[in-house]
Amino acid sequence: MADLELDCRGLLCPLPVIELGRRIGEVEVGQTVAVASTDAAAAHDVPAWCRMRGQEFVGAEPAPDGVPRYVVRRLS
């Protein structure tokens, strides 16, 4: 489990990344946020968000229902 789990199933781009941008501040530096997303663009845009915002992309792994979860560590 990440420190914050965001359920973005059913949301189309850019909504999962908007949700991530809005809520990253809810975890401490060094903690993680996971975005569960059914949107095809999230696989590219969560890592791109990390690069642009100076955060760490930890990786992707499936949730129990098979939906990808994109895990991000807050660095700043």
Partner 1 sequence: MYLDTASSEPLHPAARDAMVAAIDRGYADPRRLHTAARDARLLLDNAREAVAGALGVRRDEVSFTSSGTDAVHRGLLGLAGPGATVAYSAVEHSAVLHALAWRPDVQARPVRVDRAGRVDLTDLGDPDVVALQSANHEVGTLQPVEEAASRGLPLFTDACASMGRLPLPAGWSVAAGSAHKWGGPAGVGVLLVRKGVRWRNPFPEDDRVDERATGFENVPAALGAAAALQAVVAERDEVDARQRALVDRIRGRVAQIPDTDVVGDPADRLPHLVTCSFLYVDGEAVVDALNRRGFEVASGSACTASTLQPSHVLAAMHALTHGNIRVSLTRDATEADVDGFLAALPEVVRAIRQDAGL
Task: Give the residue numbers marked as catalytic.
Answer: 13
Binder among 52, 64, 65, 66 for partner 1 (CB under 8 A) = 52
By the rule CB under 8 A, 13 interacts with partner 1: yes
> In the complex, what is the shortest distance from the CB of residue 1 to partner 1, in angstroms, rounded to a whole number?
26
Q: What's the first-to-final CA gap in the chain, in angstroms? A: 21
Binding range to partner 1, per CB under 8 A, among 1-9, 27-35, 36-44, 62-70 = 36-44
Tell which residue, 36, 35, 26, 33, has the closest CA to residue 55: 33
Q: How many CA atoms lie within 13 A of 13 on its CB side?
A: 9
